[in-house]
C-alpha cells in the first residue's frame, strides 16, 4: 500500500511539474505572438540595396512550396492517427512540442545578432522583441514562416525519429551498447541528414546565414555563407535527446515524462492536456538550451563578414 502511494506521489510530481512548465512556455509564446501581430514589427524585413540572385530567388520559392506541400499529407496523417486511435501517441506529441518551440527560434540573437534569414522568403518580421528577457537592440529578423513553422512541426520530430532508428539499430546489433554509443549513432544519423541540409541552406541556397560566429571554427570562415562547425554538436544534441525520450516509450505508449499519467484520477481530456503540456515543456527546454548556448557565444564571436549581402542582413 505504501509503495503504491509513493508511486502515485512520484507520478503526480513528475507529470504536473512538466505540465506546469509547459503551461508557462505556452502562455509566454501566446503573449509574444499576440503582441507582435499587434505591433509595428509585424511587417516584412527590407531586402536592402543588394539584388537577390535569381538562382537564390528560385531556390527559396521552391523551398517554400515544398514545405507547404509536404505539410498537407503530414497534417492529414497527424489528424487521422489521432481520430483512428482516439489518443495521441508519443511521436505526435513531440510534433506538437517542437511546433510550440518555434517561438524560441530567434532567441539565437537575444544578446547580439549572430543568425539571419533571407528576407526574400515570405516573412512579417519577428516577435523577438516580445520574448521575455530579450536584450539585443536588433529585433528585425526575417522569420520565414512558410518554411520554419512547418519544419518545426514535422522536420524536427522526423530528425529525432531518424536518430531513434539509428540508435535502435545499434541496440539490436549490440544489445549491451550504452548510452554513449547510442548517442553517437544518433549524432551520425543526424549529421548525414539534417546536418547536410543545414550546410546546404547556408552555403548553396542562400536561405540563412551565421555572420556572428568564430570564423576560425567555421567552414568558409570570413564569408557570409560561413557555417560554424560547433553547430554540428549543439543543434543535433536536441534531437538526440528527443530520440532518447522516444526510446523510453513503454508498452502503453508513455514516455519518461508522462509515464503514470493514466493513474491520475481525472478526466481523459485532462490527462491528454497534461501530456501535451509535458511535451511542450520538454521541447521548449531543449530549444532554449540550444539557442541560449549559441546566443551567449555570439558575444565573443568575430565581427560579421565584410561581404554580407543586405538581403541576409535583416536590418
Given a contact cutoff of 8 angstroms between Cβ atoms, the answer to whether 242 and 160 are in contact is yes
> What pLDDT is stored for residue 138 in this prediction?
87
Closest by CA to 246, choosing from 283, 209, 212, is: 283
- Spatial CB neighbours of 273, under 8 Å, sequence gap ≥ 6: 19
What total of structural domains would you count in the chain? 1
Q: What does the pLDDT look like over 55-75, one tens digit per residue?
A: 999 999 999 999 999 999 999
Q: How far apart are CA 313 and CA 315, in angstroms?
A: 6
Segment 3-27 mean pLDDT = 77
116 forms bridges with which residues in the sheet? 209
Q: Where are the alpha helices (DSSP H) in the chain?
A: 2-37, 54-85, 90-100, 145-150, 156-173, 179-190, 196-203, 231-247, 268-297, 310-313
Q: Is the dihedral of CA 49, 53, 54, 59 positive or negative?
A: negative
- Cell numbers found for residue 215: 570564423
Q: How far apart are CA 112 and CA 136, in angstroms?
A: 5
> What pLDDT is stored for residue 2 in this prediction?
46
Checking DSSP bridges between strand 227-228 and strand 116-117, what pairing results, if any? unpaired
> What pLDDT is stored for residue 25 in this prediction?
98
Domain span at 262: 2-313
Dihedral Cα 111, 156, 94, 146, nearest 10 deg: 80
Q: What does the pLDDT look like over 184-239, one tens digit per residue?
A: 999 999 999 999 999 999 999 999 999 999 999 999 999 999 999 999 889 999 99
Given a contact cutoff of 8 angstroms between Cβ atoms, the answer to whether 42 and 141 are in contact is no
- Cell numbers found for residue 40: 509595428
Closest by CA to 237, choosing from 160, 157, 162, 158, is: 160
pTM above 0.85, yes or no: yes
Q: Quick count: other Cβ atoms within 10 Å of Cβ 314? A: 27
Q: What does the pLDDT look like over 29-56, one tens digit per residue?
A: 999 999 999 999 999 999 999 999 999 9
Amino acid at each position: 500500500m505504501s509503495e503504491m502511494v509513493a508511486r502515485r506521489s512520484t507520478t503526480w510530481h513528475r507529470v504536473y511539474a512538466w505540465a506546469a512548465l509547459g503551461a508557462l512556455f505556452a502562455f509566454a509564446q501566446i503573449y509574444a505572438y499576440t503582441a507582435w501581430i499587434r505591433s509595428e514589427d509585424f511587417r516584412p524585413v527590407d531586402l536592402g540595396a543588394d539584388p537577390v540572385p535569381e538562382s537564390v530567388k528560385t531556390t527559396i520559392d521552391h523551398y517554400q512550396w515544398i514545405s507547404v506541400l509536404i505539410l498537407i499529407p503530414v497534417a492529414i496523417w497527424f489528424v487521422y492517427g489521432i481520430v483512428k486511435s482516439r489518443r495521441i501517441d508519443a511521436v505526435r506529441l513531440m510534433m506538437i512540442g517542437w511546433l510550440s518551440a518555434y517561438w524560441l527560434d530567434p532567441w539565437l540573437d537575444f544578446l547580439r545578432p549572430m543568425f539571419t534569414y533571407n528576407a526574400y522568403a515570405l516573412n512579417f518580421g519577428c516577435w523577438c522583441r516580445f520574448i521575455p528577457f530579450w536584450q539585443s537592440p536588433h529585433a528585425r529578423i526575417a522569420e520565414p514562416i512558410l518554411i520554419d513553422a512547418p519544419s518545426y512541426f514535422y522536420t524536427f520530430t522526423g530528425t529525432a525519429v531518424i536518430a531513434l532508428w539509428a540508435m535502435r539499430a545499434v541496440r539490436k546489433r549490440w544489445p549491451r551498447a550504452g548510452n554513449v554509443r547510442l548517442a553517437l549513432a544518433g549524432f551520425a544519423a543526424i549529421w548525414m541528414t539534417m546536418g547536410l541540409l543545414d550546410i546546404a541552406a547556408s552555403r548553396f541556397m542562400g536561405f540563412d546565414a551565421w555572420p556572428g560566429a568564430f570564423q576560425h571554427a567555421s567552414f568558409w570562415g570570413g564569408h557570409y555563407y560561413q557555417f560554424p562547425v560547433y553547430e554540428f554538436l549543439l543543434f543535433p544534441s536536441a534531437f538526440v535527446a528527443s530520440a532518447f525520450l522516444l526510446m523510453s516509450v513503454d508498452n502503453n505508449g508513455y514516455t519518461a515524462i508522462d509515464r503514470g499519467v493514466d493513474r491520475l484520477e481525472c478526466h481523459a481530456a485532462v490527462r491528454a492536456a497534461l501530456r501535451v503540456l509535458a511535451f511542450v515543456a520538454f521541447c521548449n527546454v531543449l530549444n532554449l538550451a540550444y539557442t541560449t548556448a549559441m546566443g551567449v557565444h555570439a558575444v565573443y564571436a568575430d565581427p560579421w563578414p565584410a561581404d554580407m549581402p543586405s538581403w541576409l542582413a535583416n536590418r
